Amino acid sequence: MISIQNVSLTFGETNVLRSISLELSERRIAIIGANGSGKSSFARLLNGLVLPTEGDVQVDGLNTRDKGKDVRRKVGFVFQNPDNQIVFPIVEEDLAFGMKNLGFSKAEITRKTEETLRRYDMLELREHPAHLLSGGQKQLLAISGVLVMEPDYIVMDEPTTLLDLRNKRRIARAISALDQTVILATHDLDLIDGFDRVIGFEGGQICLDGTPADVIPKYKEMMA
């Protein structure tokens, strides 16, 4: 479980999040809200990319304030723009990078690289230049780079925003097939229709919280 306890976040004199308290235990959770609502900042709190100004974020009892490294082992993060996440020029080198840092053996790295690329029909691209992949392939590589680290949770910040319809559907299928808990910040309401829980943000506070059937119609009314 991820527990958010009385969390506020301030950048300079701007209050980005105000007195947020939540427990996240469902398998598929969506975070929605207009630009500037605080949803992306909230997503970054969940694995310690950002620390709260006040309050605490705990992942399975680990506080992001003093256990950031352990939290990031548990919580992988997929950015909106995969170019911000892909480090090495060749696909298999990029996947190997994180595993080497965690001390995986060469045999383990080879096995997990092949398994992960095969999962997304990208095995033939293992020696391909990463920057020459399509937008959808880059995002799948970014997701793969998180998966090989074996996290318990995966947080995604608007992973389909830069993609065309075909690749959006491809990413949607990839998300649906993940074994891990997924927490997804998105504007794409179709993507989250089958999720367990949807949390809406407005002005740095929670304004909606419930099932997609309950929350999405109310959110559409708010945005009208």
Q: Which tens digits make up the pLDDT trace of 46-97?
A: 999 999 999 999 999 999 999 999 999 999 999 988 998 899 999 999 999 8
pLDDT tens per residue, range 177-190? 999 999 999 999 99
Give the SS3 label for residue 195.
Answer: coil
pTM given for the model: 0.92
Contacts of residue 221, Cβ cutoff 8 Å, sequence gap at least 6: none
Q: How does pLDDT run across 131-158, given as a tens digit for each residue? A: 999 988 999 999 999 988 889 999 999 9
Count of CB atoms situated within 10 Å of the CB of 102:
12
Contact 223, 209 (CB under 8 A): no
For residue 163, pLDDT beyond 90: no
CA distances from 30 to 34, 67, 104, 187, 195 (A): 13, 25, 32, 10, 7
**Average pLDDT in the 115-126 region?**
91
Residue 171: burial class (beta carbons within 10 Å; 0-12, 13-18, 19+): buried
Span 4-26, average pLDDT: 95
Helix (H) or strand (E) holding 62: strand 62-63
Protein fold of 2-223: Rossmann fold (3.40.50)
Q: Rounded CA gap, 80 and 171, in Å?
A: 12
**Cα–Cα distances in Å, from 131 out to 84, 104, 137?**
11, 26, 10
User: Measured between alpha carbons, how far is 170 from 10 in angstroms, rounded to an integer?
Assistant: 36
| Residue extents of the structural domains in the chain | 2-223
Overall residue count recorded for the chain in this entry: 224
Rounded to 10°, the helix 91-101/135-147 angle is 20
